[in-house]
Amino acid sequence: MRIAIIGTGYVGLVTGACLAYMGHQVVCVDREASIVTNINNMEPPIYEPGLEEILQQVVSSGFLRATTAIGAAVQGAEVTIIAVGTPLGEAGIDLGQVENAAREIGTALKEKTEYHVVSVKSTVVPTTTDTVVKGILEQFSGKSLGEFGLTMNPEFLREGNAIPDFMYPDRIVIGANDAKSLEVMKRVYAGFEGPIVATNLRTAEMIKYTANALLATLISYANEIAGFCEATGEVDVKDVFAAVALDQRFTPRVGNSIVYPEMLNYLQAGCGYGGSCFPKDLQALQAFAKGKGCSPRLVSAAIETNEEQAERILHRLEGAMGSLKGKKIAVLGLAFKPGTDDVRESPALRIIKGLLARGAEVSATDPIAIEKMKQTLGEQGVSFPENYEAALQGAEGVLLVTPWRQYVEIPGEKYVQLMAYPLVVDCRRVLDKGHLERVGADYIGVGLA
């Protein structure tokens, strides 16, 4: 099929590359000429494992190209996918980019005679597609819904694992206005093996928010329990959840083997969730619910717990070190999780800001996210060495924030050799406490007094 994709961020570019890999003719649209040039040169403007390789294949074979000309892209396509950003505004979700895309798509549809399906893949609150997007498309195309199709097709991609997630989906959710547009979207996904969940437009929108809110709530629940364990003493949150997870309703038995679902990864104490989805989506869902007269108690509690987690960790650091003013503190890991350079709403960002507010001298590093953090935070009061050895040199405390393998595998002796005082704060509970203490380091772990 001929497919146009509006937006070339994580969702748009991964979607375009994977659909092109499956044999569709894809045109990716972006306003930035430099981004379009990079894509056409097979240089992804974002970091995502496997994306560069697949992009080289589909661009060189002619199945994918990029352009700034949205009108021509839509007119040449059978399906247009909206995959632009939906950042959080003051009163909830900011639909500015979605509205702009819908206006331009509608204008292009005015000149088309063949049936065309518009599919919203951007994360939008329920009622957006069938009211805002529909209204704009009808206004600018001069056509009524039915003359063109409208669907809502949410994404469930994890940064750092987006290519496998798209190619081998758990489910493909298609919210459709009618049977005709649903059938067109089924053709888009004809080569994929994941089950198709067909719903109406609003249900598809709600499924996306519900999925993200559930996962984020599990993270906040684990961190709240971790706080209880720290306050109690002689209780390790890892032991607690390891035992809880053995309940067969969490870990079913297959013969003599125990199946550990990936969902359990979200029931692990740490320094909170971050990234481009969970923080934004929970706040958007909270605002949406309040606007409908509902009381989003659990969602609000998950947000509050997450926002407090960095301060709780810094409070424990102060409890061990006293005042942080003038002390060098190292931060290992800036991306919100391994496998990406995305620092949006990263726990490291909250931790660094908290350290700076306390007068600490911060030395922060990451394998791939340093430049993104510099752009987000600036460099005042923070040094960004390229490797962990330089970050640790002379530090009086270190926080392991992003569990990149190279940081998890740092020999305990390195902390003792390089640091002025080897105090290690394990924000992800991935280090060997016993080993660190045996070699002479002090250890603080989330969920362990």
Domains of the chain: 2-199 (3.40.50.720), 215-445 (3.40.50.720)
Q: Please give the pLDDT value at position 408.
A: 98
Q: Please give the pLDDT value at position 89.
A: 86
Query: Where in the sequence numbering do the catalytic residues fall?
Result: 277
Tens-digit pLDDT profile for residues 61-103? 999 999 999 999 999 999 999 999 999 888 789 999 999 999 9
Q: Please give the pLDDT value at position 380.
A: 76
Rounded to the nearest integer, the mean pLDDT of the chain is 96
Tens-digit pLDDT profile for residues 150-190? 999 999 999 999 999 999 999 999 999 899 999 999 999 99
* Distances from the Cα of 250 to the Cα of 259, 430, 434, angstroms: 9, 22, 29
pLDDT of 379 > 80? The answer is: no
Q: Please give the pLDDT value at position 297.
A: 97
Does 379 or 54 have the greater pLDDT score?
54
The pTM for the full model equals 0.94
Amino acid sitting at position 378: G
Tokens standing for residue 232: 């109690």
What distance in Å separates the CA atoms of residue 324 and residue 88, rounded to the nearest whole number? 33
Q: Please give the pLDDT value at position 14.
A: 98
Contact criterion met (CB below 8 Å) for 371 and 303:
no
pLDDT of 1 > 90? The answer is: yes
